[in-house]
Amino acid sequence: MWRHSIRPRPGWKDKVVEQGLVFPMTDMPDGSERPYWNESAWYEVTMDEVLHLERVTEELYQMCKHAASVMVTRFSDDQLGLASGTLSLVQQSLKREDLSVYARFDLAWSGVEPKMLEINGDTPTGLLESAVIQWNWLEDVFPDADQWNSVHDRLVKWWTERRTAGAFPGNEAHFFNSGSETTGEEAMTVAYLRDTAAMAGLATYGHEIEDLGWESAQRAFVDWGGRKIRTAFKLYPWEDMLDDEFGKYILAGVEREPVQWIEPIWKTMLSTKAILPVLWELYPDHPNLLPAYLGSPGDLLEWVAKPLHGREGSNIRIHTIAEPVDHIQSGPYDTDTMVYQEWYPLPSYEGNRAVIGSWVVDGVAAGMMVRESDGPITDYYARFVPHAIGTEARPDAETIQSWLNE
């Protein structure tokens, strides 16, 4: 993978805003702002590299599903910081094979074997930027080139196939984001998911999760208009949802017809960092995993400590031999129980530390995004940089369709 500097498109900020990106710039702690969408550079990958990343991504995803089935028998709710009764529901969800649509791996890749840093299987963001904004950038800048990006087509395909199979009662779905998230990231991501469902022919309803209501007579969740909720996509962590006022109804199993939540509750296992030591135990010395332990660094000399439910790099602690003082990132998460993963520095491209986000849709590797940071942690201030497959001509529509049908 190579990083190239390039002149941004004239009016790029207006373009990406028109395409749905609500925060093209990031407000910095010193009061300045800098591009979140950074098209002053782009990353070049080869087709061989893409094929390798695809294979690794799909293998890791199958390994994570296996790990999830082990975790429900290995841990208690308390050990994972989950509400009492959660793991029982997770076990039932796994047994039913509840519908799941997408996930994102974060990979450190120095050109040989990608290393899995973590997986976000419950509330992945960066989706619109990956699926739409960087594809439109490619159309403008390299109109004949290709990109590893079938995210949008695979999302629409997923909704379409399930709708056709009768998976969504009433051919409708609700979409929830939290009103407490003020950057617009969650609302934007949910709106995009809603668009893909509408393209598949579903009737859709968008709300904030705070508008969720409970109708005692029907023993059902309802939206703010009193409409019964049957299928719902939510960009709201399960661990928070089950701690909320209405979570007790889910835990108690009192719904007459339980809501089909997307992502399903079994994805909590693919969201907690506790999956990292389980993977290492199940697949020791796997080339795409890093040694990891729960509660202590074990035999690791250099490590990264991560909170069980941390996001955006918050509350991470990095311990290396070279540095006399640990690097500690502040944040709001509970640090009583930490997962310790072997320290694996991100590759630096002219001082930009790059991490790959590798997308999975319906279990299939679907594309990638690159985020850059100035420091060793990919945090809230990381920048999204587009990519293209160098020297690779764009396939025709027939070829693309054959890939989607595989």
Query: Which tokens belong to 396?
Result: 């025709």
The answer to whether the CB of 309 falls within 8 A of the CB of 333 is: yes
pLDDT tens digits for range 328-359: 887 787 888 899 999 999 999 999 999 999 99
pLDDT tens digits for range 259-284: 999 999 999 999 999 999 999 999 99
pTM here is: 0.94
What pLDDT, on a 0 to 100 scale, did the predictor assign at position 332?
A: 81
The answer to whether the CB of 309 falls within 8 A of the CB of 94 is: no
Look-up of token digits 């506790």? 274
Nearest-CA neighbor of 346 among 107, 125, 166, 160? 107
- Provide the phi-psi class of 13: left if phi over 0, else alpha when psi is between -120 and 50, else beta: alpha
Which residues are CB-contacts of 45 (< 8 A; sequence separation ≥ 6)? 1, 53, 148, 368, 387, 388, 389, 390
Taking the CA of residue 73 as centre, how many other CA atoms within 13 Å lie in the half-sphere pointing to its CB? Answer: 5
Q: What backbone torsions phi and psi does residue 91 show, to the nearest 5 degrees?
A: -65, -40
Pairing state of beta strands 387-393 and 145-146? antiparallel
What secondary structure does DSSP assign to 149-169, as a single string? B-HHHHHHHHHHHHHHTT-SG
Please state, as a whole number, how many other Cβ atoms lie within 10 Å of the Cβ of residue 53.
22
Residues 250, 241: Cα–Cα separation, whole Å: 10
Please state, as a whole number, how many other Cβ atoms lie within 10 Å of the Cβ of residue 272.
28
What pLDDT, on a 0 to 100 scale, did the predictor assign at position 391?
A: 67
What pLDDT, on a 0 to 100 scale, did the predictor assign at position 180?
A: 86
H or E, element range at 146: strand 145-146
What pLDDT, on a 0 to 100 scale, did the predictor assign at position 351?
A: 94
pLDDT tens digits for range 130-153: 999 999 999 999 999 999 999 999
Q: What backbone torsions phi and psi does residue 325 show, to the nearest 5 degrees?
A: -125, 135
Q: CA dist 101 to 167, 181, 298, 406, Å?
A: 13, 22, 35, 17
Query: Which tokens belong to 8?
Result: 């941004």
- Write down the domain spans for the chain: 2-290+344-405
What pLDDT, on a 0 to 100 scale, did the predictor assign at position 18?
A: 96
What pLDDT, on a 0 to 100 scale, did the predictor assign at position 260?
A: 97
